[in-house]
């Protein structure tokens, strides 16, 4: 099998890679039947020379490869007929901007395997960048607070060489005794905790967070059970909440009355109640002044997330009184929002290393040898010019209906 690492073509460019140079060498040692080819690229976080130094052929043309692997969506004019591709296609939710991409995949009889739906039998994702979204998102939240109040200054995350460099930078954080809310306990939540812990911010329980005053900065990590209650009464049921979130109401507002910063890292189901409303934000006891929306759900659970921001321009101010956006730090009554939607791209070397190792350990053996649990099969969106059975629901999307 010949695997090609393709050049990222989406604009703005993504510097991440499926495999680091050292990992390509590891693959060829562990899987002698595999040859790795690297397509020339001027934008990767790893230079072409680094791949050559590990004995990998770097060339302009990858048409002779069997499997082509990238990160973001491949431009339609770069798709090669009758190949197997692995990338994040962003089509499974019928995203309008990628309809033509899926139409082209089908027309070119491409076998498309989407990283997002590579899951084990229990539904756990095998590869993801969530941890780095959390690490960078929480870092950006702290950076934003320092910028807004002038209490300390950090380099931008993307100016750090890797995650270890970023964690050294966190030693500069000097916060007053503020309270920080972190939502989410998955990959994003755990990544955010890494940043907060590296910054020396103490984690406290829900009751203490709500009732006690501290002489140091603290954070609380909230799960869904901490701020949702059944409409009909009775105990919170996690399984029921995941299937029928509309049966619950939110009590999140009590946390905004004591907290200064919100790091939003929890998945939000559109059927679930929002965390709070614009009217809640107008209340005199709404205390939060900095929101880092790591999940970046536009018009979702947080009313101030009006649009995604970019790495070069990561912040804006939100005025709940007018529901309007303004330049950051333009008024002390505004709430400063960080809503970058491609956070792992700020630490491309470290994020790629973790992602690639998971691919090597969890996915490549299935792709090369045997897919006994049908993991690859379940993650295949299209094959031989047709949608697979699991993704037939996308047919009306493909047809433009």
Comparing C-alpha atoms, which of 109, 56, 73, 17 is closest to residue 354? 17
Query: What's the CA gap between 301 and 336, in Å, rounded?
Result: 16
Helix axes 187-198, 130-149, angle to 10 degrees: 40
And the tokens for 348?
């491309």
pTM: 0.92
380 touches 112 (CB < 8 A): yes
Comparing C-alpha atoms, which of 210, 305, 205, 217 is closest to residue 264? 305
b/e burial code for range 330-345 (CB count within 10 A of at least 16 → b): eeeebbbbbbbbbbbb
Query: What's the CA gap between 82 and 63, in Å, rounded?
Result: 10
The C-alpha R_g of the chain, in whole angstroms, comes to 23
**Residue-by-residue pLDDT tens, the chain, 401 positions:** 999 999 999 988 899 999 999 999 999 999 999 999 999 999 999 999 999 999 999 999 999 999 999 999 999 999 999 999 999 999 999 999 999 999 999 999 999 999 999 999 999 999 999 999 999 999 999 999 999 999 999 999 999 999 999 999 999 999 999 999 999 999 999 999 999 999 999 999 999 999 999 999 999 999 999 999 999 999 999 999 999 999 999 999 999 999 999 999 999 898 999 999 999 999 999 999 999 999 998 889 999 999 999 999 999 999 999 999 999 999 999 999 999 999 999 999 999 999 999 999 999 999 999 998 999 999 999 999 999 999 999 999 999 88
């Amino acid at each position: 099998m010949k695997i090609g690492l393709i050049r990222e073509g989406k604009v703005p460019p993504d510097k991440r890679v499926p495999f680091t140079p050292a990992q390509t060498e590891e693959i060829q040692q562990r899987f002698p039947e595999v040859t790795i080819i690297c397509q020339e690229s001027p934008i990767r976080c790893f230079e072409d020379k680094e791949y050559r130094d590990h004995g990998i052929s770097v060339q302009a043309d990858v048409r002779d490869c069997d499997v082509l692997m990238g990160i973001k969506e491949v431009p339609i004019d770069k798709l090669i007929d009758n190949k197997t591709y692995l990338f994040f296609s962003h089509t499974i939710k019928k995203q309008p901007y990628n309809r033509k991409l899926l139409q082209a995949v089908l027309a070119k009889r491409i076998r498309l395997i989407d990283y997002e739906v590579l899951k084990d039998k229990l539904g756990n994702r095998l590869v993801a960048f969530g941890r780095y979204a959390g690490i960078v998102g929480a870092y950006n939240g702290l950076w934003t607070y320092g910028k807004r109040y002038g209490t300390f200054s950090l380099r931008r995350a993307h100016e750090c060489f890797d995650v270890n460099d970023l964690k050294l930078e966190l030693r500069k954080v000097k916060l007053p005794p503020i309270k920080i809310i972190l939502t989410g306990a998955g990959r994003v939540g755990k990544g955010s905790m890494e940043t907060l812990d590296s910054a020396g911010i103490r984690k406290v329980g829900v009751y203490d967070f709500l009732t006690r005053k501290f002489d140091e900065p603290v954070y609380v990590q909230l799960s869904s059970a901490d701020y949702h209650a059944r409409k009909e009464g009775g105990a919170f049921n996690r399984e029921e909440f995941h299937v029928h979130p509309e049966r619950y109401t939110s009590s999140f507002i009590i946390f905004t009355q004591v907290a200064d910063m919100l790091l939003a890292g929890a998945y939000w189901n559109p059927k679930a109640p929002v965390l709070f409303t614009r009217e809640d934000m107008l209340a005199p006891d709404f205390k939060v002044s900095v929101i880092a929306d790591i999940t970046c759900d536009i018009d979702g659970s947080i009313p101030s997330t009006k649009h995604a921001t970019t790495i070069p321009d990561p912040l804006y101010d939100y005025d709940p009184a007018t529901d309007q956006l303004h330049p950051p730090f333009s008024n002390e009554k505004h709430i400063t929002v960080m809503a970058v939607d491609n956070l792992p791209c700020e630490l491309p070397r470290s994020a790629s290393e973790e992602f690639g190792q998971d691919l090597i350990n969890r996915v490549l053996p299935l792709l090369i040898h045997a897919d006994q649990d049908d993991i690859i099969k379940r993650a295949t969106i299209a094959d031989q010019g047709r949608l697979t059975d699991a993704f037939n629901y996308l047919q009306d999307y493909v047809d433009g209906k």
